[in-house]
Amino acid sequence: MKIRAGLLLATLIAVFSYSSARAASADGPVPAGFLGACDIGFLATSTLHDVSGSASCQPFALRIARDASGKEVIPVVEVEVPVAGMDTRNKSRDGQMREMFRSDRFPRIHAVARDVNVGRLRVEIGKGRDGDASIDLLLRIRDVERKVRATASNLKESGERVAFDLDFPVSLREFDLKAPSVLGIIRVGDMVSVKATFILTVSRSP
């Protein structure tokens, strides 16, 4: 669900990675921005067994700018995940999940990050193979917004494509969501683990 927040972080990582390449080769064309996509997996516990599911975010774009001091920043990144596309491979359970999210009134989960310092992310993720970086996201589920801290890792660069993973926990209770249950006995736990894999591609269109 919170996977959208992951998109934001993925964008940031792609930006700092490409910035390093530009610093090493000043004669190359400067990209106008990045196009992003992500696949999401989520896992929840229950009184009977774990429940896993998948989703995808809508395509998104971001641009890089410089602040007053000359630092590279991402002014804003927004990502959305359609609730209708979330799938646990069980129609009855999926119906309960959509009801919990009130998908008829709130069809998308929304995440946003603002004024992201690209240099800081570059340093933290570039510390080594196991390097990671954290970023605060503003996540909105239904009509409730909360700050969520996500961790990015497993950065891979290939040409003008950047891939990475984004992990974060989500508390249903903090978003005023009532965990679904079956016959009042089998109930989903409060914490949901989210892992999103992002791919960012350099876009040179104006």
Summarised one tens digit per residue, pLDDT across range 13-39 is: 444 444 444 443 334 433 458 899 999
Nearest by Cα to 33 from 80, 77, 81: 77
57 sits in which H/E element:
none
Q: What is the mean pLDDT of residues 59-65?
A: 88
Residue in the structure block whose two tokens are 């990502």: 79
Nearest in space to 65 (alpha carbons), one of 102, 15, 131, 135? 15
Domain 3-203 has CATH 3.40.50.11740: no
| Alpha carbon distance 134, 144 (integer Å) | 22
| HSE of 187, CA atoms in CB hemisphere, 13 A | 9
Has residue 166 got a pLDDT over 90?
no
Pairing assessment for the beta strands 72-82 and 65-66 based on DSSP bridges: antiparallel
pTM of the model: 0.79
Of 73, 72, 63, 31, nearest in space to 161 by CA: 31
- Radius of gyration of the chain measured on its C-alpha atoms: 18
Task: Quote the tokens at residue 164.
Answer: 């990475």
**Could you tell me if 200 and 35 are in contact, meaning their C-beta atoms sit under 8 angstroms apart?**
yes
Q: What is the pLDDT of residues 111-139, one digit of tens each?
A: 998 887 777 777 787 776 667 888 889 99
Measured over the CA atoms of residue 188, residue 191, residue 193 and residue 194, the dihedral's sign is: positive
Q: How many residues does the chain have?
A: 206
Q: What is the pLDDT of residues 181-195, one digit of tens each?
A: 654 556 778 899 999
